[in-house]
């Protein structure tokens, strides 16, 4: 049984210009363990003055950081990866305590994926050799990548550390400096990362600034700050505000937003892969995944058999102490989120859905202290219902039967979102037809919710703009400088005779 770890402090300050300092107005927020209800620490809430001070520091640091040689920047990213790996168990335990996600996920997925992310971008930038050619008129065409400047990055609470890696690794690799805001619900792991980076003196002061605080205050201040790009992961609602703020400033933004993804199960699927696929889709991270396979479309030819098996599997899922390595599902992130999820179960029932399994809060014994929910499936769902159209963001899947490929593609596309999706079948041609037919940024075939660096991830439609976890994101953290060099020995004859 993993034990709670002792935090390096009970009061976390802001990290600005290489120094730790309290908020200028002394404001703090509390962060709690959602599995026990215990207060973990106070975190500073950045004021406008703090955000502006960080922006000045980041601007000052940019000139040096942008000129750091690629091999040196790459080595720095590798050093960050090593520091995370050396402290993996500690950081994973903090993530589990602050978020409620099971330790088997933080040690097995979130943290190792974050390590790999820094290594991936350390490698990618070494391979970028730019490009040059000679254009008509004997002009040497040099295409150079230059960093954008200071970037404001804001992330949600569902994968606090991994989302930090998705944002920080490419921005630092590209040569940008950063104002980074985690969610106020889950700031501890990235604050600990900043502490480790500071102690090892890996980054020059001002390159990385951590501005904790609420979205309504500290987040809004970042939107107003002197930044050259906004990068956001979170809800579609707040994403619109980010896009508006970027439009006002005429700066780019990348948006990774919500989803209501279709996970499609054909009768010819391998049953064990399919059963695991349902769980990976809607129970991973307590269902608090933007790409969750939350609409479960089942071939009517094996609906009854499949439902029977899935319900049995859901009843066996071990919900419990997130620090216990045996636990498969931990706590929801907080009471507010739990209430929102339970309210959706209620809405579904009012719409005519039935609870096939789960649907209740767990309250017995130790469960009573935390925000624990049963793995839940709603049956008798129509794709038009609110529970099939709105993001629930919890371990609640809605199950909808389909007749054939065309039927399921039509329903899958009947959504404002287009982030993830899954197809389970042993027929590769069918898998590719369905993958091609669904308007979504990522389709898994015979698996779900895998996030390796090197595979681009991002949304169609209201699920966002831009792709992360792939080298193409470097374009969104850079701009192109073109230099045209005249290779002719003599003038061209326009104004001066050659």
* Interface size with ligand NAD, residues (CB under 6 A): 29
Among 147, 156, 359, 421, binds ligand NAD (CB under 6 A): 156
Cβ proximity to ligand NAD: between 164 and 269 the closer is: 164
Cβ proximity to ligand NAD: between 417 and 424 the closer is: 417
Among 51, 173, 243, 257, binds ligand NAD (CB under 6 A): 257
Give the nearest distance from C-beta 155 to ligand NAD in angstroms. 6
**With binding defined as CB under 6 A, does residue 47 bind ligand NAD?**
no
What CA–CA distance (Å, rounded) separates 107 from 2? 11
**With binding defined as CB under 6 A, does residue 398 bind ligand NAD?**
no
Give the nearest distance from C-beta 99 to ligand NAD in angstroms. 11
Cβ proximity to ligand NAD: between 73 and 101 the closer is: 101
CB atoms within 10 A of CB 320: 21
Binding to ligand NAD (CB under 6 A) within 378-397 occurs at: 391, 393
Assess whether 390 carries a catalytic annotation.
no
Cβ proximity to ligand NAD: between 219 and 348 the closer is: 219
Among 212, 233, 263, 415, binds ligand NAD (CB under 6 A): 233
Q: Print the SS3 string covering the chain.
A: CCCCCCCCCCEECEEECCEEECCCCCCEEEEECCCCCCEEEEEECCCHHHHHHHHHHHHHHHHHHHCCCHHHHHHHHHHHHHHHHHCHHHHHHHHHHHHCCCHHHHHHHHHHHHHHHHHHHHHHHHHCCCEEEEECCCEEEEEEEEECCEEEEECCCCCHHHHHHHHHHHHHHHCCEEEEECCCCCCHHHHHHHHHHHHCCCCCCCCEEECCCCHHHHHHHHHHCCCCEEEEECCHHHHHHHHHHHHHHCCCEEEECCCCCEEEECCCCCHHHHHHHHHHHHCHHHHCCCCCCCEEEEEHHHHHHHHHHHHHHHHHCCECCCCCCCCCECCCCCHHHHHHHHHHHHHHHHHCCEEEECCCECCCHHHHHCCCECCEEEECCCCCCHHHHCCCCCCEEEEEEECCHHHHHHHHHCCCEECCEEEECCCHHHHHHHHHHCCCCCCEECCCCCCCCCCCECCEECCEECCECCCCHHHHCEEEEEEEEECCCCCCCCCCCC
Q: How many residues belong to the chain?
A: 498
- Taking CB under 6 A as the binding criterion, the range among 8-16, 208-216, 266-274, 422-430 that sits at the site for ligand NAD is 208-216
Non-local CB neighbours of 410 within 8 Å, separated by 6+ positions = none
Binding to ligand NAD (CB under 6 A) within 290-319 occurs at: 290
**With binding defined as CB under 6 A, does residue 183 bind ligand NAD?**
yes
- Taking CB under 6 A as the binding criterion, the range among 67-75, 91-99, 256-264, 443-451 that sits at the site for ligand NAD is 256-264
Binding mask 108-147 for ligand NAD (x = CB under 6 A): ----------------------------------------
Cβ proximity to ligand NAD: between 279 and 459 the closer is: 459
Which position among 290, 374, 462, 468 bears the catalytic label? Answer: 290
Among 31, 153, 184, 189, binds ligand NAD (CB under 6 A): 184
- Taking CB under 6 A as the binding criterion, the range among 8-16, 64-72, 218-226, 442-450 that sits at the site for ligand NAD is 218-226
Assess whether 350 carries a catalytic annotation.
no
Which position among 256, 391, 462, 468 bears the catalytic label? Answer: 256
Give the nearest distance from C-beta 170 to ligand NAD in angstroms. 14
What CA–CA distance (Å, rounded) separates 485 from 134? 9
Binding mask 8-37 for ligand NAD (x = CB under 6 A): ------------------------------
**With binding defined as CB under 6 A, does residue 235 bind ligand NAD?**
yes
Cβ proximity to ligand NAD: between 220 and 380 the closer is: 220
- The CA-atom distances, in angstroms, between 109 and each of 91, 115, 162, 172, 215 are 12, 10, 9, 22, 27
Cβ proximity to ligand NAD: between 105 and 256 the closer is: 256
Binding to ligand NAD (CB under 6 A) within 430-459 occurs at: 459
Longest CA–CA span in the chain (Å) reads: 93
Among 147, 219, 322, 395, binds ligand NAD (CB under 6 A): 219
Among 40, 223, 298, 400, binds ligand NAD (CB under 6 A): 223
Residues found near ligand NAD in the complex (CB under 6 A): 154-158, 181, 183-184, 214-216, 219-220, 223, 233-235, 238, 241, 256-259, 290, 391, 393, 419, 459, 464
Active site residues: 256, 290
């Amino acid at each position: 049984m993993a034990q709670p770890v002792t935090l390096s402090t009970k009061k976390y300050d802001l990290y600005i210009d290489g120094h730790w300092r309290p908020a200028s107005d002394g404001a703090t927020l509390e962060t709690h363990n959602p599995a026990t209800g215990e207060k973990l620490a106070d975190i500073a809430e950045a004021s406008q003055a703090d955000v502006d001070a960080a922006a000045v520091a980041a601007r000052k640091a940019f000139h040096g950081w942008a000129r750091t040689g690629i091999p040196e920047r790459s080595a720095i990213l590798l050093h960050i990866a090593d520091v995370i790996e050396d402290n993996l168990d500690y950081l994973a335990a903090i993530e589990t305590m602050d978020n409620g996600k099971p330790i088997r996920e933080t040690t097995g997925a979130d943290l190792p994926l974050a390590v790999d992310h820094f290594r991936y971008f350390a490698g990618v930038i070494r391979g970028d050799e730019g490009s040059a050619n000679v254009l008509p008129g004997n002009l040497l065409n040099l295409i150079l990548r230059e960093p954008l400047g200071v970037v404001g990055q804001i992330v949600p609470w569902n994968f606090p550390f991994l989302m930090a890696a998705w944002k920080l690794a490419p921005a630092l690799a590209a040569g940008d400096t950063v104002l980074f805001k985690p969610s106020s619900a889950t700031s501890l792991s990235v604050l600990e990362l900043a502490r480790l980076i500071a102690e090892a003196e890996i980054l020059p002061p001002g390159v990385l600034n951590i501005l904790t605080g609420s979205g309504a205050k500290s987040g809004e201040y970042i939107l107003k700050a002197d930044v050259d790009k906004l990068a956001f992961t979170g809800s579609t609602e707040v994403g619109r505000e980010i896009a508006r703020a970027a439009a006002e400033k005429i700066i780019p933004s990348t948006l990774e937003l919500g989803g209501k993804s279709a996970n499609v199960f054909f009768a010819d699927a391998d049953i064990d892969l399919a059963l695991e696929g349902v769980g990976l889709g809607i129970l991973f991270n307590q269902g608090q995944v933007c790409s969750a396979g939350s609409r479960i479309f089942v071939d009517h030819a094996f609906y009854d058999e499949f439902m029977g098996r899935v319900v049995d599997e859901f009843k066996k899922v071990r919900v419990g102490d997130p620090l216990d390595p045996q636990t498969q599902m931990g706590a929801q992130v907080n009471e507010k989120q739990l209430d929102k999820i339970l309210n959706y179960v209620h809405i579904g029932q009012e719409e005519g859905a039935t609870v096939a399994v789960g649907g209740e809060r767990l309250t017995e014994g130790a469960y009573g202290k935390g925000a624990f929910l049963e793995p839940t499936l709603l049956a008798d769902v129509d794709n038009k219902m609110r529970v099939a159209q709105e993001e629930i963001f919890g371990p609640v899947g809605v199950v909808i039967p389909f007749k054939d490929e065309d039927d399921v593609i039509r329903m899958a596309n009947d959504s404002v979102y287009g982030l993830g999706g899954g197809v389970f079948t042993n027929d590769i041609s069918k898998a590719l037809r369905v993958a091609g037919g669904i308007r979504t940024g990522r389709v898994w075939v015979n698996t779900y919710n895998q996030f390796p660096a090197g595979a681009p991830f991002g949304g169609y439609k209201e699920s966002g703009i831009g792709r992360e976890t792939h080298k193409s994101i470097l374009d969104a953290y850079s701009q192109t400088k073109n230099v045209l060099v005249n290779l002719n020995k003599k003038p061209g004859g326009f104004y001066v005779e050659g």
